[in-house]
């Protein structure tokens, strides 16, 4: 089978995308950092189900990593990614070099409030969403897709990007797609490969504690005691817990009681040297 085509410049990207749009095809962008797994492929699938031509970008974005984080050791598996995207029937890979995204003298950043300042990921990764939003804004204006598909796995990111696309009239419809999990419930992540076998077993506690708490909240149990118990379960299993919070699903504002609002339970915790995030609808 011929491999899915790869472009590395905005000029080449636009030529292909504009050709599709001239034929009346919808174009979907799926931004990724590579090291692909079934979760990423489900986003390609979601685009294909909408009958869109699908561009997958692969770019490990330096500006969304703090100096202490794993940018240099982030897994880079381009050959395997390309084979997976070929099998998944993606239409194009956009894999820019760093200076295609950040030219010499780059001096512009998207500035965010609202869901980007909810006190969740932003509290522990203060520069993260500015980096994400800036690169996503650039990918949108470089590719000019009709739609873009993001995973609910990175739930705060999904809300930040949706808000930005609306606020800045980027002309791209942002669509969220459900989290794909391992058979035992662990949310798939490129970082799961860092887990030792023991930590991989412990990691299960995260989804189990979240699911149990969500079920109790749905049944009408009080919010704070239910969250406290889930927090205790998670730290008891050996995690260092950054947060476990119940939030309004779109604004990410705190929810103190279940009163008909659409709510989301969000968690971030570290086991060994691996920080995991997850979330679940309540």
**What is the contact surface with ligand AMP in residues (CB under 6 A)?**
32-33, 39-40, 42-43, 150-151, 153-154, 177, 179-180, 187-190
Total Cβ atoms within 10 A of residue 97: 10
In the residue annotation, 128 being an active-site residue is answered as: no
DSSP 123: H
The answer to whether residues 209 and 174 touch, using CB atoms and an 8 Å cutoff, is: no
Minimum gap (Å) between residue 60 Cβ and ligand AMP: 9
Q: Report the distance separating Cα 94 and Cα 143, nearest Å.
A: 9
Using only C-alpha atoms, the chain has a radius of gyration, in whole angstroms, of 19
- Residue located via tokens 């509290």: 123
Minimum gap (Å) between residue 151 Cβ and ligand AMP: 2
Tell the burial category of 182 from Cβ atoms under 10 Å away from its Cβ (0-12, 13-18, 19+): middle
Tell me the helix, strand and coil percentages in the chain, rounded to 5: 45, 20, 35
Q: Report the distance separating Cα 184 and Cα 146, nearest Å.
A: 35
Which is closer to ligand AMP, CB of 148 or CB of 244? Answer: 148
Minimum gap (Å) between residue 228 Cβ and ligand AMP: 27
Give the list of residues 6+ apart from residue 211 with CB closer than 8 angstroms, or none.
Answer: 185, 280
Q: Report the distance separating Cα 187 and Cα 268, nearest Å.
A: 12
Q: Report the distance separating Cα 146 and Cα 50, nearest Å.
A: 11
Which is closer to ligand AMP, CB of 177 or CB of 233? Answer: 177
Minimum gap (Å) between residue 107 Cβ and ligand AMP: 24
Minimum gap (Å) between residue 36 Cβ and ligand AMP: 7
Which is closer to ligand AMP, CB of 42 or CB of 226? Answer: 42
Which of the following is catalytic: 37, 40, 128, 207?
40
Which is closer to ligand AMP, CB of 119 or CB of 178? Answer: 178
Which is closer to ligand AMP, CB of 40 or CB of 275? Answer: 40
Q: Report the distance separating Cα 201 and Cα 227, nearest Å.
A: 22
Q: Any idea which residues carry the catalytic annotation?
A: 40
């Amino acid at each position: 089978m011929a491999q899915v085509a790869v472009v590395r410049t905005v000029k080449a990207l636009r030529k292909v995308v504009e050709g599709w749009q001239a034929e009346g095809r919808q174009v979907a962008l799926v931004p990724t950092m590579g090291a692909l797994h079934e979760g990423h492929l489900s986003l390609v699938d979601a685009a294909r189900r909408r009958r869109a031509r699908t561009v997958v970008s692969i770019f490990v974005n330096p500006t969304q990593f703090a100096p202490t984080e794993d940018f240099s050791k982030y897994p880079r598996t381009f050959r395997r990614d390309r084979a997976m995207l070929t099998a998944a029937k993606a239409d194009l890979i956009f894999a820019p070099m760093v200076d295609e995204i950040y030219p010499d003298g780059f001096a512009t950043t998207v500035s965010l409030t609202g869901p980007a300042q909810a006190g969740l990921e932003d509290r522990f990764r203060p520069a993260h969403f500015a980096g994400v939003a800036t690169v996503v804004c650039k990918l949108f204006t470089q590719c000019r897709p009709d739609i873009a598909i993001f995973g609910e796995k990175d739930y705060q990111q999904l809300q930040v990007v949706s808000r930005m696309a609306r606020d800045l009239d980027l002309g791209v419809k942002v669509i969220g797609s459900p989290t794909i999990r391992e058979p035992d419930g662990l949310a798939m992540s490129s970082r799961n490969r860092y887990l030792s076998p023991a930590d991989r077993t412990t990691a299960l506690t995260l989804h189990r504690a979240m699911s149990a708490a969500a079920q109790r909240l749905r049944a009408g149990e009080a919010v704070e005691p239910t969250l406290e118990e889930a927090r205790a379960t998670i730290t008891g299993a050996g995690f260092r817990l950054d947060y476990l919070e119940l939030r309004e699903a779109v604004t990410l504002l705190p929810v103190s009681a279940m009163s008909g609002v659409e709510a989301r339970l969000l968690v971030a915790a570290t086991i060994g040297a691996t920080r995991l995030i997850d979330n679940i609808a309540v």
